[in-house]
Amino acid sequence: MENITPFMEEILTVLKEKHKQMDNLMTFTKELEKVLGTGDPESFGRVLSMRQGSMTAIDTLNEEIKKILARMELPSGEKIKMLLEPEPLEELIDPNCPLENGIMDTNRMTLSLLNKIVKLDEEINKKIKGG
């Protein structure tokens, strides 16, 4: 059986960076909403570009997580994949393992932030369409 601790540490580090980038994305999305109200297309374009940078970074981090998981042996990799699910099976999580809990908690916070960004995006799209 492989030692999964280094993999879990690596995934947690990537997840923390992903959460940071998701937070940046939220900031840029809020800024986009403000700039939309000014009618300044140059500022809108700049904020949109910065926002795209965060989205690209998030995509890269998602790929990095996939690569880490691909290096893991079964069933260890499957357990870590389960921790990354939106609703992981709590009974399979070791409450005494800070890495498992850290992965699950960081992923949950990131998903919660993503849901808020999606809602704000929908509001911005309505404003752009004149609704």
Report the chain's terminal Cα–Cα distance, integer Å. Answer: 57
Total domains in the fold of the chain:
1
For residue 127, give both structure tokens: 């404003």
72 vs 45: CA distance, rounded Å:
41
Domain, as residue range, for 50: 5-128
Enumerate residues 6+ apart whose C-beta is below 8 A from 11.
Answer: 65, 68, 69, 80, 84, 103
- Give the predicted TM-score (pTM) of the model: 0.90
pLDDT digits over 79-90, tens only?
A: 888 889 888 777
pLDDT digits over 36-66, tens only?
A: 989 899 999 999 999 999 999 999 999 999 9
